[in-house]
Structure 1
Amino acid sequence: MTLTVGFVFDDTLDVLDGVQQHIVTLGRELARRGHTVHYLVGQTEHSPMANTHVMARNVMVPFNGNRMRIPLPADKRHIADVLHDTHFDVLHVQAPYSPFMAARVIEAADPSTAVVATYHIAPKNVLAAVGGQVLGAINAHSHRRIDEVVAVSSVAAQYAAQTARTYGSIIANPVDVHAMRELAANAPAAHEGHHIVFLGRFVERKGASLLLDAIEYAQRHDLWPADTHVTFAGKGPLLEDCQVRATGLSIPTRFLGFVEESDKPALLASADVTVFPSTGGESFGIVLLEAIAAGAGVTLAGDNPGYRSTLLGDEDALFSVGADHARDLAERIAHALRDPQWAHQLRERQEKLLERYDVHAVADQVERIYGRALAKRNR
């Protein structure tokens, strides 16, 4: 049975951060299977997807160690028009959600439309957790309309339980393994020497400064091969500070700034080691799986609950983000660069993760959730 599915998301599709990647990757696979997919989203000017309906304007606010866009109150008449013009079998809401947009869409949904909510958040601190509980209380009425709840990881499931008093299935974020491999295969020749790559936003919790600490430690103790060089990709408020710090390094270090989605696989494939030193606030780790799928030598990640869950607790791939992080990370990178057998074994284990997270496997699970939600509606 083919369905008409509407992804409901308070944020924009103009950038492809974690949740955007989730719904775009999953939406493309659902469309490939014959479903009709729409996007009911916050302020968006250049959507990469067809059938995009802009439901509200957005404003930028700090949250959970990052910056996010939240919607201003959506016009209820506009919501009614969109829901009238297209009958949705399923509305798939990305949670936590705003009472000003997504909650209004949920409450306006046709009684025959199934509503599914997927939780993505892992709180970085007590303030974020308390804010989530307040939001859960505000959205309690609309949440009663939801037929099935999903979380992308056990960490996100805990957040849903703590903030919305709700429990559901765990279905991981999807990665289009075939697309990543195809783009990486068409990439230019790999860099000479040993290449380390960081890809992420330059905000405190993403940990670019931790990698700089590790570079300084490696220099002082002569840990890495002489031909090692490091590439940082991404943008954010701490970019300039990191660039200034890097001017004092003898290990060659460059900053690419923002990298287009189409260029990410080539960058990741060029790495002997990809490093994602996030200190927390991660519910999952899509970028870890993208690096593995693109063909990076090995992928190392900060030991936070979301990344640990994604990597199934592989201690070789996880490094401390605590007080001794510089030494731990520098030595872990050295192990990857100087011990080919160890690196090869880790790489083989990481390759096996991809079957679990590939979009085809994830879409199968999501279709079953849709079926269950529709069955509840039709009772």
Structure 2
Amino acid sequence: MRIGIVCPYSWDVPGGVQFHIRDLAEHLIALGHEVSVLAPADDETPLPRYVVSAGRAVPVPYNGSVARLNFGFLSAARVRRWLHDGTFDVIHIHEPASPSLGLLTCWAAQGPIVATFHTSNPRSRAMIAAYPILQAALEKISARIAVSEYARRTLVEHLGGDAVVIPNGVDVDFFAGAEPRPEWGTPAAERDTGGTIGFIGRIDEPRKGLPVLMRALPSILRARPDARLLVAGRGDEEEAVAALPAGMRERVEFLGMVSDEDKARLLRSVDLYVAPNTGGESFGIILVEAMSAGAPVLGSDLDAFVQVLDRGAAGEIFANEDAEALAGAAVRLLGDPARRAELRERGSAHVRRFDWSTVGADILAVYETVTDGAASVATDDRPGLRQRFGLARS
């Protein structure tokens, strides 16, 4: 099958959607399909052979963050050329409602279109206001996927229609097989008084929750003075620790941006992974990666996180933005090796449903449904088919 995938966000700025698209493309290629990904990218960005640059992106406020998007006449021309050269059997657009390549592709493409909706935002005034502009493009979509029930709810409430829920995928074995790094673990002599906490995310993006974790850290260190926090991600490191007492700042180690390999090794090394995100999350891929690596997870009680953590069975949950609740749970878990071992076991079993062997097969089933004759699918009256895949009416 010839598959064209559209990435809305700049390829050179790491993010969950980009990682999902990269891994999906490589999974499909490994199965023998021909895949081309169209994505914004700076001229100097090294790209995999399957990625086609749509040109430089610009920063745009979107979904409580700043997304680097690509939109305009030049982008539209590149979309049309990519579609012409690709002669795809199916087009898979991510975030078609954002002002980016997905919307341009919806306008220009012919034939079967699958769309994945990642955004979870129950009160998006921008999406409501833009609906009259989006409607003509969205009506061309043959099938809709939402990465979580909360992304599906956002789609239904703002744009109408429905979608099948297929979560983001993870190469579980890649994380499970990573080698821990001794310097990122806890020395045997400090296991009763310390513990290593991990955090991965953009430091200067408040919704990723690092400020909440920093507010919790003094209480954690008073109870466990040898504990330390490892932070991986880009941002202003000095500003991140500015509110900490001076004597505690040395207990925070910033690793900067890390490779995929080092991310997996970090997650394999820590005693506890904390996800203090405060909002705007439709799924929580880092939770799945952490559980895949065997890290016990403590996450805020965002709806999407609660679902990924199997309502607390696969990881523990604390009240969103409550630093003292975070600190209390972290201290308890760091002091309870048996509970952490239980979470590792439950998390490792739970994440198998997110492995690409399952997620990839579900996405391919959607592709096959829309390519097996759009006309026959549009008139198929088999119970549940249209509802399952969120099929557009002709």
Pair in the same fold by TM > 0.5? yes
Structure 1 Cα separation of the partners of residues 100 and 231 of structure 2: 37
**2:223 corresponds to:** 223
User: What CA deviation, in whole Å up to 9, does each residue of 1:262-310 have, x standing for no partner?
Assistant: 31111111100011100111000111111121232x1111111121121
User: 8 Å contact 1:246–1:253 — kept in the other structure?
Assistant: no
After TM superposition, the structure 1 = structure 2 runs for residues 1-379 of structure 1, keeping only pairs within 5 Å, are 3-45=1-43, 46-75=45-74, 76-99=76-99, 101-110=101-110, 113-123=111-121, 126=123, 129-182=124-177, 184-185=178-179, 187=181, 190-191=184-185, 192=187, 193=190, 194-202=195-203, 203-219=205-221, 222-224=222-224, 226-236=225-235, 239-246=237-244, 248-250=246-248, 252-296=251-295, 298-314=296-312, 317-322=316-321, 325-379=322-376
Question: Compared with structure 1, are the counterparts of its residues 357 and 4 closer, same or farther at alpha carbon in structure 2 (3 Å cutoff)?
Answer: same
User: What CA deviation, in whole Å up to 9, does each residue of 1:217-259 have, x standing for no partner?
Assistant: 234xx322x43111122123x6432132345243722222222
| Number of residue-to-residue matches in the alignment | 364
Could you state the TM-score of these two structures normalised by the residue count of structure 2? 0.86
Give the drift of 1:369: 0.6
Decide which moves more: 75-84 or 208-217: 75-84
Give the drift of 1:355: 0.9
Structure 1 Cα separation of the partners of residues 247 and 147 of structure 2: 39
Question: Compared with structure 1, are the counterparts of its residues 59 and 77 closer, same or farther at alpha carbon in structure 2 (3 Å cutoff)?
Answer: closer
- Whichever residue aligns with residue 163 of structure 2, its letter is G
Question: Compared with structure 1, are the counterparts of its residues 206 and 79 closer, same or farther at alpha carbon in structure 2 (3 Å cutoff)?
Answer: closer
Could you state the TM-score of these two structures normalised by the residue count of structure 1? 0.90
Structure 2 Cα separation of the partners of residues 33 and 140 of structure 1: 34
User: 8 Å contact 2:146–2:164 — kept in the other structure?
Assistant: yes
Structure 2 Cα separation of the partners of residues 361 and 44 of structure 1: 33
| Structure 1 unpaired stretches of 5+ | none
- Whichever residue aligns with residue 81 of structure 1, its letter is R
Give the drift of 1:337: 1.2
Secondary structure of 1:53's match?
A: strand
Give the drift of 1:43: 3.0
Give the drift of 1:208: 0.6
- Whichever residue aligns with residue 282 of structure 1, its letter is E
Structure 1 Cα separation of the partners of residues 343 and 336 of structure 2: 11
RMSD: 2.1
Structure 1 Cα separation of the partners of residues 77 and 62 of structure 2: 30
Secondary structure of 2:230's match?
A: strand
- Whichever residue aligns with residue 16 of structure 2, its letter is G
User: What CA deviation, in whole Å up to 9, does each residue of 1:321-369 have, x standing for no partner?
Assistant: 24xx222111111121111222222222111121110011100100111
User: 8 Å contact 2:279–2:302 — kept in the other structure?
Assistant: yes
Question: Compared with structure 1, are the counterparts of its residues 217 and 200 closer, same or farther at alpha carbon in structure 2 (3 Å cutoff)?
Answer: same
**2:386 corresponds to:** none
User: 8 Å contact 2:294–2:347 — kept in the other structure?
Assistant: no
Question: Compared with structure 1, are the counterparts of its residues 77 and 344 closer, same or farther at alpha carbon in structure 2 (3 Å cutoff)?
Answer: closer
Secondary structure of 2:115's match?
A: strand
- Whichever residue aligns with residue 106 of structure 1, its letter is C
User: 8 Å contact 2:218–2:244 — kept in the other structure?
Assistant: no
Give the drift of 1:86: 1.6
Identity rate, percent: 30
Structure 1 Cα separation of the partners of residues 79 and 230 of structure 2: 44
Decide which moves more: 90-99 or 199-208: 90-99
User: 8 Å contact 2:175–2:268 — kept in the other structure?
Assistant: no
Give the drift of 1:70: 2.0
Give the drift of 1:135: 3.1
Question: Compared with structure 1, are the counterparts of its residues 53 and 378 closer, same or farther at alpha carbon in structure 2 (3 Å cutoff)?
Answer: farther
Give the drift of 1:103: 2.3
Structure 2 Cα separation of the partners of residues 61 and 247 of structure 1: 35
Give the drift of 1:143: 0.6
Structure 2 Cα separation of the partners of residues 77 and 327 of structure 1: 53
User: What CA deviation, in whole Å up to 9, does each residue of 1:154-213 have, x standing for no partner?
Assistant: 11001111222121100000001122233x227556522421111111211111111111
User: 8 Å contact 1:7–1:92 — kept in the other structure?
Assistant: yes
Question: Compared with structure 1, are the counterparts of its residues 215 and 99 closer, same or farther at alpha carbon in structure 2 (3 Å cutoff)?
Answer: closer
- Whichever residue aligns with residue 6 of structure 2, its letter is V
User: 8 Å contact 2:169–2:354 — kept in the other structure?
Assistant: yes
Secondary structure of 1:185's match?
A: coil
